[in-house]
Structure formats: C-alpha cells, structure tokens
Structure 1
C-alpha cells in the first residue's frame, strides 16, 4: 500500500477502481433497481432537474441512476473473467515457450499463430450466437477468447531475452526447479508488462461488451451501459437533441472513467513488481519503525 500511495497515477487509478467496486457492492444494495416509469413519472428530466431523480430520466420516465449503478457489477464481472482468462493463458504459454525452447516452443508458437489468424469479432459473434451466454463471467471469457495469442507472443519475446541473463544462468547452474526460476526470476521482470496487457484486455472487454450490447448481439439478461446508449440513440434521439444529450453522455462518461482508472493504475504498477523499489520501501519502513516505537 505504501508503494501504491507513493505514485500519483497508481493512487488515482486505485481510487477510481475502488469507487466502481463501491458502486457494485454497496450502492447496488442502497439504490433500488428500478425507479419511475409509471404514468406520473417525469420524462426527459435533466440532471438535478427533478427531486428524487438526480441523474435525470429517460423517455419512459425511468431514473438513469439505478441503470448506471446496476450495470456496474456485471461489467466488473465480465472484466475480471475476460482479462484474467486471457492474461493467465498468455503468461503461462508465453513464459514456458520462451524459456524452454525446442519442440515445446515450436508447438506452442504454432498454436499462437493459428489463434492470431482467426478474426476476433466474427469468432466472438459466432460463439455468442451458438452458446447464448447469460452469465457475465462467461460473456467476459468469450469476449477475450482469442486475445491471449498476441500477448503470449509478446511475453515469449521478453522471456527469450531474459533467459540468457546471468542471474537466470546462475539459477540453472544451481539446479533450481523450473517453477522457482519462472516465479522468482522471470515473472517479476515481466509483470509490469503483463499487468499493462491485463488492463488493455480489460478495456477491450469493456468496449467490446458495450458495442455488442449496443448492436443487440449479446442477450439482454442484465443491465449494461451499451443498452443505455442504444436506448438513448434509438428512442431518445440523444444525438440530435440537446435536451436529451445527458442520456447518452452519462454512460459514456462512466465507461471512459473506468477505462481511465485502469490505465492510470497500470502505469504505476512497475513500483509494485520492481524488486529494487520494493526493497527500498521495505528498508525505509525498517528505519522508521524504531522511531515510531
């Protein structure tokens, strides 16, 4: 936590991400899932225009605040499932391929090349149409179904450079097990890149899910910001009227802020995984400990 707080980018990014987690866990219990929509509900009410509707209403008189809040948990679930799925597979295959070499490298590289030749969007649409997933976790995995291949290739290239370093050679001479060499010597050096790639995959899941929900490809089984954008465009004419522009701007700002928080967090993560910086902070804590006592 001290390392995170020492970098303003990681600090702001962490606060933004924690805010979305707070919305997904606490506000969803406080804000009712649906409000308004009845005969007496205000229609096209702007932000802070009508008491009880802080973010305004849509064409049906429904409050936009519950829609934004209750779309957050499924989005975070899709991000976690898709980004973790893609990053774990890419890191495992890329690391083993780059370090082992030989036949193992040839087989894994061939699989990567085949996966990279498959067009992503048609594959995602085909898989979604066939399986018709309703779970946010499953949708997240489908959205990142072939995003791992390019990342695995990049990780392999980095591991190829690292495996000839003197400290890794020393580990091999000492007959350290492969698992220890990968976890102790290789992964700490590539983790900043891996985490940045994790964030890029997460952003891809965000934009991909919003786009496919907007186009009506994904099943409408839970709230999503893409559905709000579709309704604002198709029924509210938000692109053509200043009076209903807020309807399309609110989900857009929500999407951009989540992506921005992830990017800021990833930019400062080198401090989390760089052993020298961690050791520096650990020594500074040890030096101040007696003074605090």
Structure 2
C-alpha cells in the first residue's frame, strides 16, 4: 500500500513539473529566485559581514564604482555591494516569515468562516472586511511606530496586515468543498469538525493557498521595502529598503549617484517580478478551471 501511495505521489509530482515547466516565464522567475536564494544563503561567504560595521569602514564616502568597490560606497564609506548582498538575506527572510504568518492566520480564519457559516462566517468575514477597508500603509506605519524598529516587529506588522486576502480566498473555496458528497459521507460516519477541516477541507484548499503564498511573498517584500524606506526598518540589519532610504536621505538621487539607487531598486523589481511569474504559473497549474481556460 505504501509503495502504491509513493508511486501515485511521484506521478503527481511529474505531472505538476511537466505542467509548470511549460510556462517559460515561470521558469525564468524560478531561475531568478534560485539566484537570489543562493546569494542570501551564502551572503557571509560572498561579502564579509564586517563590511556592514560603520566603525570599520575605511573607504571614502560616496565613492564611484571602482575595481575595489564594484558598486561604489555609501555615505559612511561602506561597500554598496556588501550592503546589497546582505540586504538580500534580510529582505527574503522578512518576506517569507511575514507571508507564513499571513497564510496561517488567513487559512484558519477562512476555513472556520466557510465551514461553520452563519454567525461565525458573518463575524469573521466582517472582521476581515474591516482589515481590508483600512488602508494598508497607514495601518502598517502606526503598528511599526508603536512596536518599534526591529526585524521581528516588521515581520509581525506585515504578517498581521496581509492575511485578509488569503482568508477571503480560503473561505470561498471552503464553501465549495463543504457541499461535496464526500463531506456528507464524513459527517454521516461521525467525523467531527476537526476531522473534517483537517482531513478533507485543508488538503483541498492547500493548492490555492500555495499559489497565493508565492504572490503574497512579493507583496511582503514590497511592504518591507516601503517601511524601511520610510525609516521604520531595523537600522542594524540593512535591507534593500534600508539602502534606498539612505540613498534618499543623503541626496544620492539628486547627485547622480546611480550606484547607490539603481542596484537595490532593480533587486526589488526582479524579485517581485519573479515571485509574481511563479505564482501566476502555480495558480494556473493547480487550478483546473484556470488551466482549462488557458
């Protein structure tokens, strides 16, 4: 029985990969993500962390790109390339961690609202709509200001403010799954609420959640960049938004110091684009209706 199960899983994985790789744009996005992922993992090998310390910077401030400093230096004489490499790790960690929080909250709220219906659905979806109505940026700024500037607080702020879209999606899918025949059989056989939600509903909503995860990561990275650019990020852990904030604060944009502005901006654009391409492809592959329409 175990051998048959694993054989089916391998066949499913093979079909999934065949469908996914038919989207060339998704493969390009996956390649970009693998590149940035490797940079994040080996950041300490690619660039000495000591280069982040302002007190150890010996290069002239605002130096143009050279053989010693490929992307020039910042206002403190630190290598922009070193900041960029270590900023990759921070930006990806914040994006993935905040997305995990948002997905967990959104999935729990969505399943409970769709499964129980009635007053529970009205209450939970009303709470979700309240979060959707409030503009994200002002709410995130207020929360970040109250909690303080730290990497953990930024993760919490983005995660807590990014779950409503997932909750809406999961609730709609749960309502559809709840009416299927096997759910009636599960109830007739005495399956409790927990059993039905974890063994029947959750596996059926996970494909859509997985596709939504990839899209949510891009939003989380943009949110972190925005908050850091506004000076609400962790000053001890440089991210791409932190670099852009320093560039703006020191007048790099008006002084023509492109090496201080363009690289972090391009990194943000490339990573967000890559996650979007992969997420759209996953959405088509995992959703039979979209696959038939395309």
Aligned counterparts of 2:282 and 2:169: Cα–Cα separation in 1? 19
**Equivalent residue, structure 2, for 1:198:** 213
Find out whether 1:131 has 2:144 as its counterpart.
no
Q: TM-score, normalised by structure 2?
A: 0.77
Q: Which residue of 2 aligns with 1:268?
A: 281
- What is the CA–CA distance in structure 1 between the aligned matches of 2:103 and 2:39, rounded to whole Å? 26
Query: What is the aligned partner in structure 2 of residue 95 from structure 1?
Result: 111
1:253 aligns with 2:271: no
**CA distance, structure 2, for counterparts of residue 190 and residue 51 of structure 1:** 52
Q: How does 1:135-214 map to 2 (within 5 A)?
A: 136-214=151-229
Query: Are the structure 2 counterparts of residues 15 and 122 from structure 1 closer, same or farther at C-alpha, using a change threshold of 3 Å?
Result: same
Residue in structure 1 matching 2:58, options 38, 54, 59 = 38
Kindly indicate whether the alpha-carbon contact (under 8 Å) linking 1:239 and 1:245 is maintained by their aligned counterparts in 2. no
Q: Which moved more, 1:106-115 or 1:2-11?
A: 2-11
Change (3 A) 1:150 1:266: closer
In structure 2, the CA distance between the partners of 1:78 and 1:151, relative to structure 1 (3 Å rule), is: same
Query: How big is the shift at 1:214?
Result: 1.3
Per the TM alignment, residue 87 of structure 1 is displaced from its structure 2 partner at its CA by 1.0
Cα-to-partner distance string for 1:167-204 (whole Å, 9 max, x where unaligned): 33333333334344334433344334323332333222
Measure the CA separation in 2 of the matches of 1:93 and 1:84.
Answer: 14
The unaligned stretches of length 5 or more in structure 1 are: 276-293
Deviates more, 1:173-182 or 1:221-230: 173-182
* Structure 2: stretches of 5+ with no match in the other structure: 1-12, 289-294
Deviations 1:116-173 (A, max 9, x none): 3444322222222222142x23311212323222431232122222221233333333
How far the C-alpha of 1:42 sits from its partner, in A, is 8.0
The change in CA–CA distance for 1:163 and 1:228 in structure 2 (over 3 A counts) is same
Are the aligned partners of 1:210 and 1:224 in contact in 2 as well (CA < 8 Å)?
A: yes
1:57 corresponds to which of 73, 82, 90? 73
- Per the alignment, in what secondary structure is the counterpart of residue 161 of structure 2? coil
Say how many residue pairs are matched: 268
1:231 aligned residue (224, 246, 269): 246
Structure 2 distance, partners of 1:189, 1:86, is 19
> Which of residues 3, 18, 21 in structure 1 aligns to 2:37?
21
Alpha-carbon contact 2:132-2:164 (below 8 Å) kept: yes
Distance, in Å, in 2 between the alignment partners of 1:32 and 1:51 is: 17
CA distance in structure 2 between the aligned counterparts of 1:12 and 1:271, rounded to whole angstroms: 16
Task: Answer yes or no: is the 8 Å Cα contact 2:43–2:89 preserved in 1.
Answer: no
Residues 1:125 and 1:42: Cα distance change in structure 2 (over 3 Å): closer
Flag the 1:192–1:240 CA change in 2: closer, same or farther, 3 A: farther
Cα contact 1:53–1:65 (8 A) shared by 2: yes
SS of alignment partner, residue 45 of structure 1 = coil
